A and B are shown apart, each in its own frame.
Chain A
């Protein structure tokens, strides 16, 4: 018996649909008065409804703007819950929690921060899109027990690696989590993370065995890593050429993007090219061809639900393959894409 009822969930969902923060807070307060703990609210109200929000956007039923508005309501709720929790006792080393650079989905990390906080762990939360410099600066100021790094997108793996290098350079253990990683922690290990955790509970479990000090990250010397770095250095040109070639193949005029809604499939296609390229780099870095394959499939379904041309993703792959023809490791990776 947790105090969160199906009725609460329905009411909370209604609040998200209308972007009504006050309504959402009332639902949470009611549940708490019936005995729901902060963690109950996070796990049984906020988390499942946030999955629904993502689904709505993926299905094309919600605009980007609406998705952001709903997410903002849940963020405000979680922040309010966090602010009302008692401070953990001073003296214990904090956990420093951040999202990788260009990771804007702060809610999963915020949920983790709030849960750990509710369990009595001191948490320093740096939020979305934290630069390596910001993270290292906080490491030096707070001397955390460990850095927890959240990444939702597999296109972030290259930036995750940079954070791992920076944090391990200070001797601090770094635990990674989020949907950018596989459940077995293979990608995390290949990137040099000290550990992988799939949930707040796993974070706590890892803490028991986590070393107090870690050594510097060894450089990644395999050929895929070198190509990923080279591709990253040339990312602007590769993206531009790929978008142009795809537009030509599909008979799109391009350029008129500013006048089109951000939810139009052509805009979704163009804005996802950097993500897809990031997934290629990420796949190269951790030697996992399923990463670009999954990203392509996902983009295909996004476009389909927005009435996109079904040739779009195959043409995009063809354009990318042509553009990356001088990168043998990348081509080998793309050959594995069905």
Chain B
């Protein structure tokens, strides 16, 4: 038994050429209404497979018994199809050559055409298999007992990138009179789907770029517990000029935090270069003053191209030394590190120094401190202390107040506490890039 045909479907595609004017007017209005709803459903969905699901669901709900939408982008292929009253089927992956030769051929030709579905079993199976690669969908289409499938290539910006295949139940076909309506439908779907492809492709490029620019994930170090908080100024770009890095062998780590002037992608690219320079320098010598000096030299010679770029940074070398963690610290114009002791008052490490990329041949002094078990080093950028509140900046003093009672706690608790205070202080005001990192010495593990 073929599924019952809905009245609305009949109305949308009925041959109205010989009908009275009222019936034709009513059909035209139904079609306009349908196209409007179709545009509304998917115009906001800037995600290809979700948009396809929405389109296919609406088409089989309102118009025909079977619809399959194929979309190709490079080597990638998305197929979404459904038969009325059955589940929506989706296939998403790399394109398999020759899996659906009818689709290849119709897209190559780029013009709409009818694919007959013969009655003979073997010929019919072959015709369906050449169009539909999802097995369940093949059976469901077969059960519809359609006599033919209408193939509508999707084109935009001078290329054919997809195919819409439609079929109606036994006894119902697509007549000439419906052609302008179907052309309009194809045109609209092409534009909408093409737009989702553009968004998806550019987001893909952006996300690859972003992954390479994001602060790297801290490695697991047995004796070090690390937590961090980042918030970028330009949320839609998702990257910024604050950076943090931790690398090296467990017994001789280098940690780096810093802040490039500017925001967004450009700042992130400079930040990435500084991180790379520090990693390279660290392979040669690991004393942080020397590392910063070399990075400064690299930047001074490189900033010819972009003279406005300056950066602050703080670099520390961490080594276990007789049951304590020895920290050698050098600062290039960066806010001072704080030492949050498990017991005892908060200490402020010497900071200052000249920022990177300002003066050639700059030397950076080192200071040494020691962390006992559960003592922590708190590193941050000026986005924390310069967070604007209703009346005043967050400030060094406020940060120290917030940290005061948190000695010895898990770094994730310390970071959350401080990040919460900063965010509440900010409310919904604009802010700079914000970074906060807490590294705690845990000789006995977590």
Where the two chains meet, the residues of A that have a C-beta atom closer than 8 Å to any C-beta of B are 19, 21-22, 25, 63-65, 68-69, 71-73, 75-76, 91, 93, 102, 104, 128-129, 131, 133-134, 137, 139-141, 143, 169-172, 212-213, 215-216, 235-237, 239-240, 258-259, 261-262, 271, 274
Contact = CB atoms under 8 A, between A and B. Distances in A.
5 contacts: A19-B409, A171-B41, A171-B54, A212-B88, A213-B53
A262 B444 CA distance: 31
A72 B445 contact: no
A58 B235 CA distance: 34
Contact of A171 (B42, B390, B402): B42
B266 interface: no
B387 interface: no
Given A104-B420, A172-B50, A141 B412 contact: no
Nearest to A215: B40
A262 to B, nearest CB: 7
B45 A258 contact: no
Nearest to B402: A262
A212 B410 contact: no
Nearest to B44: A171
A235 B92 contact: no
A142 to B, nearest CB: 8
Interface string B395-425: 0011001100110111011001101100110
A258 B416 contact: no
Contact of A65 (B54, B199, B406, B444): B406
Nearest to A129: B423
Nearest to B55: A213
A71 B41 CA distance: 42
B54 A69 contact: no
B92 A64 contact: no
Contacts of A65: 405-406, 409, 413, 417
A170 B413 contact: no
B30 interface: no
A212 B47 CA distance: 13
Report, as a range, how many residues of chain B touch the other chain: 35 or more
Contact of A71 (B236, B391, B413): B413
Contacts of B390: 236-237, 239-240
Nearest to A239: B390
B44 A140 contact: no
Contact of A258 (B90, B200, B401, B427): B401
Given A64-B417, A65-B417, A76 B412 contact: yes
B46 A170 contact: yes
B235 A169 contact: no
A21 B446 contact: yes
A72 B409 CA distance: 9
A137 B47 contact: no
B238 interface: yes
Nearest to A139: B47
Contacts of B397: 258
A141 B204 CA distance: 8
Given A104-B419, A104-B423, A172-B50, 11 more contacts: A69-B410, A71-B413, A72-B410, A72-B416, A75-B412, A91-B92, A137-B236, A172-B45, A212-B88, A213-B57, A240-B390
A171 B50 contact: yes
Interface in B13-56: 40-42, 44-51, 53-54
B203 interface: yes
Contact of A261 (B45, B51, B405): B405
B212 interface: no
B77 to A, nearest CB: 14
B207 interface: yes
Contacts of B445: 22
Determine chain A's interface SS by DSSP, over half rule: helix
A171 B45 contact: yes
A233 B409 CA distance: 37
A140 B92 CA distance: 16
A216 B40 CA distance: 9
Contacts of B413: 19, 65, 68-69, 71-72
Nearest to A64: B417
Nearest to B403: A65
Contacts of B416: 68, 72, 104, 128
The residue in B42, B44, B92, B401 that gathers the most chain A C-beta atoms within 10 A of its C-beta is B44
A139 B53 CA distance: 15
Contacts of A236: 390, 427
A212 B44 contact: no
A62 B217 CA distance: 33
Nearest to B42: A171
A291 B441 CA distance: 44
A231 to B, nearest CB: 13
A157 to B, nearest CB: 15
Nearest to A171: B45
B238 A137 contact: yes
Given A240-B390, A258-B397, A141 B235 contact: no
A12 B390 CA distance: 42
B417 A170 contact: no
Contact of A131 (B235, B401, B405): B235
A76 B416 CA distance: 13
Contacts of A261: 405
Nearest to A168: B44
A216 B236 contact: no
B409 A140 contact: no
A140 B405 contact: no
A262 B427 CA distance: 19
Interface string B299-327: 00000000000000000000000000000
Contacts of A235: 427
Nearest to A275: B424
B235 A133 contact: yes
